[in-house]
Each structure stands twice: as structure tokens, then as C-alpha cells.
Structure 1
Amino acid sequence: MLPRTKRITLIAFITLLMFQSCDRKQEETKNESPVEFNQKLQDELRKMAEIDQIAAYIPQGKYKEMTNEEWNSFKDSVFTTHQIRLKEIFDKHGFVGFDLAGEEGSFNFWLMVQHSDHNPDFQGKVLADMRIKMEKGNASKRNYAYLTDRVNKNLGKKIIYGTQVSYNEYGQAISRPLEDSANVNERRAEVGLESIEEYLNRMTVSHFEMNKENMLKKGITEPKLYKVPNE
């Protein structure tokens, strides 16, 4: 039997561990408490995304009257201003999950983070929190894959899922340098993406249609496609 003094010390130590365990459980319960849906945030993100989509593509409507300098200035202003607001939202809520702003709000937040290429450190922080929520079913696996590749590209690293592309002289989409390219389709399937061949073909067709006049001038009359596995 232990001496009385040692028994008291052991009991005190065990009691302390019990209190610490209770504190941890209370903290975990607090962190996992239900999030209240934020309609105001969803509406704000929708309006921001509408402007983002104007800036993300070629000039349309009244924007076609802008000079290249004016257009580029407009785009930079939109993406920079949005990123400041996105950081404020992120600092308060972390990545915007389905529970906070619905699938629409979560998508719009992710979409604008995708276009915050001028601040890859911010994109990386968002990605880390998005992974946590994605693993709990509170964020899109597909969108997580796209943001992963975006961050890696912006940091000069190889991409993982093959979602970032460039185009060769025939207008055919080609993946940027890939990590473990032999198993890319397995990774894509895990997050609900089609095969990389199908994806590259889709991007090739889209590129061809957007640049059809120039393609025809080069003598390219149709998109150059990859053979899709199991077709």
C-alpha cells in the first residue's frame, strides 16, 4: 500500500485529469454546437459573386466599351475589394460551410476565394479550414479539389487533381504539372470528379468555341480530343 502522502498526491492527480477531461469535452461540445443559418450573409455573397463573374470572364455589354487598361483595372479592383471582405468573413466564421449559408453561399464564398490569386497565403488558410469542414460533410469535396490545385499552382507546386490547365498550339487543354499523375483519376473519383480525359476534353471544347474564329484561321476546324478510358 502507498504511504498516505503519496495516496493523496495520486488522488489529486487523478482528480485533475478528470477535470481536464471534462473541460475538453465541454470545449468540443461548444465547438460543435449548431451554427445558425445566416440569410443576410448568403444574400451578400450572392451579390458579390454576380460582380465577380462579370470580372472573371471576357468583357460583355457595357464593359466591352472599356480599354484593356480600364478593364484590367476594373478586374483588379473587384478581386482585391472582394478579398478584403472575404477575409473579414473568414476571420469571423472560417470557411463558409453549408450550415452557415447553404450550398449556394458556400459555393459563392469558395468561388471568390478561387479568384483571390493575388493573395495565395489567404487562399491557403481558407483551404485548410475548408478541409476540416469538407471532412465533416459541411463543404464540397469537388470544390475542395479545385481550390487545392489553385493554391498549389499559385505557390509553384505540382497540382493534385488536374483541374488547372493550359492550352497547346492546337487549342487542346493540357494539365499543369501533376503530382503522381498515374493515379490522378483515382484521386478525382474520390472527390466526385469525372476522369481527367473527360475534363480536359470539356475544357478543350469550351476553349475552341470561345476562340473559334482564331482556331479556324489556323486551320483547326474542330477540337482535338483525348481518348476517354472505357469508351
Structure 2
Amino acid sequence: MKNIFLIITCMLMISCASRKMTVSQKETVLKELKYIYDIDQKFAGLPPKGLIDQYGNKKGWEIFLAQRDSVGNDNQKRIKQLYQQYGYLGLNQVGEKETDFWISIQHADNDIAFQKQMLKVLKKEIRKNNAPKIHYAMLEDRIAVNLKQKQRFGSQVTYNKIGQAIPKIGLIDSVNVEKLRKEYDMPSFKKYYNDMTIMHFEMNKEQLKKNGINEPQLYK
């Protein structure tokens, strides 16, 4: 029995050791994470003006979305490989670049099973202070919306006819959402939704003005 225990212990130690990074490996990982984050953000907004000018709005959007899907799939492969080799790359391993690792998990909407797996992992990492609580909350909401379910935290938004941010699909508990958001280190509901409303207005200013909306419609 003692021998079996020693063997299992050694296997666990080897497994943990294989997840540690040398200085050289860390440099490579950080470069990979920077690439993943930069290209994710490149396709996070609107299509480039040049693309719309060349192909028109409809075709331009189709090309842009196809490119975004391709980039997203490639990023997911990269993240899965990193996770398989090093485990969750959290604050203790890569510092603030944990966000660069998490972002592609958050955007892996075509692989909800993977998102669910990472949500469980995140819960454990948060207990070890290796990931911010807000990333757990945002991923939980993302999964809920992907499953056509209401959210707990209200991090996923859509916009009404006047360009005002509203919770996508709705909230589970609107009465206690502020308390819950505070517990997970999230900005207040009002501030977050006003910030999102302002951003949406700036990105869609021309169309909103055509509809008679000349300024962001903020929550009072």
C-alpha cells in the first residue's frame, strides 16, 4: 500500500513539475498570449472602413465575420495547447496577461463544452487567488447567454431601439444584481451599462443620428 501511495505521489509531482515554465518558455508563452489578445481585439469591433468601402456593408460584414470566426478558432486551438501544457495560465504564472489567456475562452462561443470546463477550472483558480473573480462572472454569463438562459451578473449586453444597453436575454435576479456584482469585483450595474451605452453610441453614431438619437441615452 505504501509503495502504491509513493508511486501516485511521484506521478502527481511529475505532473505538477511538467507545468512549470523555464524563463525561455515563459517568454515564448507571453509572446503567444500577446498575439492571441491583439488579434482577438482586432476583430472585436466593427469591420475596417476600407473593407466596407470596397465590398459594401453586407458583403463587408460577411467577410469580416468569417475572418473573425477563423481567428477565434485558431485562438482556441492555441489556448487549449497552452492549457494542456501548463494548466490555467493565471496571475501567479503570467500576471496581468491572465486576461490574454482568458479572453479566447470567453469568446469560444462555438465550444460551450470547453467554456463550461474552463468555468470549473476558474472557480478553483479563484480560490487560489490565481484569477480575478470578474472573469468567472463574465464567463458564467457568457455561457448562460449561449444557452439562451438569463444571466446572474448582467455582463452580456444588447441594445434597444434607442441604443441603450440592456441585459441580453434578461437577468435572473435584478433586485440583487448590484450586491452580486460588488461581490465579484465588478463595476456597478448603472456605471457599466452607461459605459456600454456610450461606447455603442460612438461606434454607431451615424446610424443612431439618422434615427433621431443625437446623444447616448444614459440611465439616470
Q: 2:27 aligns to what?
A: 39
Q: How far has the Cα of 1:135 moved from its partner?
A: 1.6
RMSD of aligned C-alpha atoms? 2.7
1:49 aligns with 2:42: no
1:174 aligns with 2:162: no
Alignment of 1:131-142 (within 5 A): 131-142=123-134
Structure 1 portions without partners, runs of 5+: 1-15
Q: In 2, distance between residues paired with 1:32 and 1:182?
A: 43
Which of residues 101, 107, 113 in structure 2 aligns to 1:115?
107
Give deviations 1:85-122, integer Å, cap 9, x for gaps: 21222223332212222221x11011111111111111
**SS of aligned partner of 1:193:** coil
Q: In 2, distance between residues paired with 1:61 and 1:44?
A: 28
1:87 aligns with 2:59: no
Q: 2:190 aligns to what?
A: 197
Q: In 2, distance between residues paired with 1:224 and 1:62?
A: 29
Scaled by the length of structure 1, the TM-score of the pair is: 0.79
Alignment of 1:92-111 (within 5 A): 92-104=85-97, 106-111=98-103
* Count of residue correspondences: 208
State the AA in 2 paired with 1:52.
D
Scaled by the length of structure 2, the TM-score of the pair is: 0.83
Distance 1:83 1:63, change over 3 A: farther
Q: 1:209 aligns to what?
A: 202
Query: Percent identity, aligned pairs only?
Result: 36
Q: In 1, distance between residues paired with 2:205 and 2:49?
A: 20
Structure 2 portions without partners, runs of 5+: none
Q: How far has the Cα of 1:184 moved from its partner?
A: 0.8
Q: In 2, distance between residues paired with 1:187 and 1:35?
A: 35
**Which structure would you say has the larger Rg?**
1
